[in-house]
Amino acid sequence: MRKLLNLFVIFSLSVPSFGQKITGNWEGKIVAGGTTIPIVFHFYSDSTGRILGKWDSPSQNALDLPCGEVRATGDSLVVLLPVISGSYSGNFAGADSITGEWDQKGIRMPLNLARQSGGGSYTLPKRPQTPHPPFPYISDSVVYRNSDSTIRYGATFTRPKGQPGDQYPVVLMITGSGKQDRDETIFDHHPFAVIADYLARRGIAALRVDDRGMGQTTGDFDTSSSLDFAGDVEAGIRYLLSRSDVDPAHIGLLGHSEGGLIAPMVASGDPRVAFLVLLAAPGIPGMDVINFQNGVALKNAGLPDSVVQKFLVLHDALVNAAVSAAGPGPFREQVPGIYQSWKNDQSAGTLKDLIHGSDESVIKNLQAKYYVFHSKWWRFFLFHDPSGDLEKLDIPVLALNGSRDIQVDPQVNLDAIRAALKKSRSKNYKTIELPGLNHLFQHCTTCTLDEYGKLEETIAPEVLRTVSDWISSVVK
């Protein structure tokens, strides 16, 4: 799910003519609110000579985040960073240094880069499951619009080759939280491309779509909520119904994480949806999901459960204040009182475990970080209860989660999904907890967030088999 630093990535573009000058590793530091944040860029070329980019924020444990377009004019450099709705721009000051500026959602900070010693190239990690052409199926890039033509969607439609006039069951894939491309790319993994490839080889078509403001899709992602994204799914359904190679009676939705929240929202009100596949989907309100994530992070840091619960009291109070605030100013004014009231109720031991720095610095940090919860996306996600949508369903549903998921609690959420579906009119539903898999459905060892990019596996084969076999059984 979404975090304050978004770890979901984008479709990389590049300008090959600039490659010889920039290829290598570059490092600099941003100073924000008295905190120094190292930033590292890796620029490298692929087999076709295109220049691609990755960037790290090591102190935030955010690694291998892809850049967007890398472009240059003369000695100037611009690197788009849509994953944070920002960019980096600078000018070369010799062969090994760049003087520039970091822009994150309109907040600009100086960031000067120096080429790291050795200037080594960045090696792409191994991703053996990523499909590469030629494909034994049809894979087409397509473009369509929503009903009022305010948004254009870029997508990929895959289907078996078949014969003219054949129609195929199809799944429309819905990405998880954060601005993502049609493949739901993360750490060079392309899970939606892997799933679509597997399904197409087994007679099932798929449509995977760039999120708003990503790739070929227009629209403003940062001012949208899950409810808006549900409208994007409806546009995809209308597009699929316009195709002669789609079986209109067997259009399903496959959603991962937040996508698994959106899929029941759409299906509960759209009788054209024939089935749902929910991957690591929340079955409880977002506030409970976020509290679980915070709890896992604090426990992994060695804090006892009693201290974790004390922190969540402060966390919940700040979130509720941010959601209901009239603006950033009124919220900032509330934070000192909320913090002091909470602090007065804590023991010396709890404060020693949780508070590092002066009260003034802690308050400034809370003011800076927690107002994000006032955004349209958070205000919807935090208080939307997916059980209401699930209870309205009357179609087949498959819900999967990995037993080692630390972002969406597998037991709590699968239990909630199962309880809601039991109240629904659906006669065919299945919830499965798969052992040893993380939130991305990889076989994991430490099963922490930073392991996602270290694993070569994109998605466990048993997940692909389970999804494909189940869809085949419901569309016969």
Read off the CATH number of the domain in which 435 is found: 3.40.50.1820
Q: Which of 336, 354, 381 is the last residue of a domain?
A: 381
- Averaged confidence pLDDT in the chain: 89
Q: Which of 365, 381, 397 is the last residue of a domain?
A: 381
User: Based on the structure, what is the number of domains in the chain?
Assistant: 3
Structure tokens at 158: 């895959």
Residue 129 domain-assigned (yes or no): no
Q: What is the per-residue pLDDT across 136-169, written as a single tens digit (0 to 9) for each? A: 999 999 999 999 999 999 999 999 999 999 999 9
**Which pLDDT value is given to residue 330?**
95
**Which pLDDT value is given to residue 142?**
98
Read off the pLDDT of each residue in 281-298 and give the average, rounded to a whole number: 92
Residue 7 domain-assigned (yes or no): no
pLDDT exceeds 50 at position 18: no
Are residues 410 and 398 part of one domain? yes
Q: What is the per-residue pLDDT across 99-136, written as a single tens digit (0 to 9) for each? A: 999 988 778 899 999 988 754 455 667 899 999 999 99
Are residues 280 and 256 part of one domain? yes
Are residues 330 and 392 part of one domain? no
pLDDT confidence band for 72 (50 / 70 / 90): low
**Which pLDDT value is given to residue 176?**
94
**Which pLDDT value is given to residue 449?**
82
For residues 101 and 65, the model is more confident at 101
Cα radius of gyration (the chain): 23
Read off the pLDDT of each residue in 383-407 and give the average, rounded to a whole number: 97
Q: Say which range, 85-89, 143-147, 167-171, 402-406, has the weakest mean pLDDT.
A: 85-89
**Which pLDDT value is given to residue 356?**
83
**Which pLDDT value is given to residue 468?**
98
Q: Which of 81, 114, 147 is the last residue of a domain?
A: 114
Are residues 388 and 345 part of one domain? no
Q: How far apart are CA 82 and CA 43, in angstroms?
A: 17
Residue 363 domain-assigned (yes or no): yes
pLDDT confidence band for 15 (50 / 70 / 90): very low
Are residues 159 and 249 part of one domain? yes
Q: Say which range, 68-72, 244-248, 321-325, 345-349, has the weakest mean pLDDT.
A: 68-72
Residue 468 domain-assigned (yes or no): yes
**Which pLDDT value is given to residue 450?**
75
pLDDT exceeds 70 at position 263: yes
Read off the pLDDT of each residue in 19-34 and give the average, rounded to a whole number: 76
Residue 132 domain-assigned (yes or no): no
Are residues 274 and 328 part of one domain? no
Q: What is the per-residue pLDDT across 362-380, written as a single tens digit (0 to 9) for each? A: 998 899 889 989 999 999 9
Q: What is the per-residue pLDDT across 49-59, written as a single tens digit (0 to 9) for each? A: 567 788 888 87
Q: Which of 161, 166, 162, 158 is nearest to 142 (CA)?
A: 158
Are residues 323 and 375 part of one domain? yes
**Which pLDDT value is given to residue 33?**
64
Are residues 279 and 147 part of one domain? yes
Are residues 406 and 258 part of one domain? yes
Residue 70 domain-assigned (yes or no): yes
Are residues 160 and 70 part of one domain? no
Q: What is the per-residue pLDDT across 197-227, written as a single tens digit (0 to 9) for each? A: 999 999 999 999 999 998 899 999 989 999 9
**Which pLDDT value is given to residue 13?**
23
> What is the edge-to-edge ordering of all strands in the sheet holding 397-402?
137-145, 152-160, 205-209, 168-174, 246-256, 273-279, 397-402, 429-434
pLDDT confidence band for 350 (50 / 70 / 90): very high
165 Rama sector, left if φ>0, alpha if ψ -120 to 50, beta otherwise? left
pLDDT exceeds 90 at position 314: yes
Give the CATH number, domain containing residue 110: 2.40.128
pLDDT confidence band for 302 (50 / 70 / 90): confident
pLDDT confidence band for 46 (50 / 70 / 90): low
**Cβ-based neighbour number of residue 48 at 10 Å:** 7
For residues 9 and 18, the model is more confident at 18
Are residues 192 and 277 part of one domain? yes
Are residues 257 and 390 part of one domain? yes
pLDDT exceeds 90 at position 187: no
Residue 122 domain-assigned (yes or no): no
Residue 131 domain-assigned (yes or no): no
**Which pLDDT value is given to residue 411?**
96
Q: Which domain holds residue 31?
A: 16-114
Q: How far apart are CA 37 and CA 166, in angstroms?
A: 55
Structure tokens at 232: 């994007």
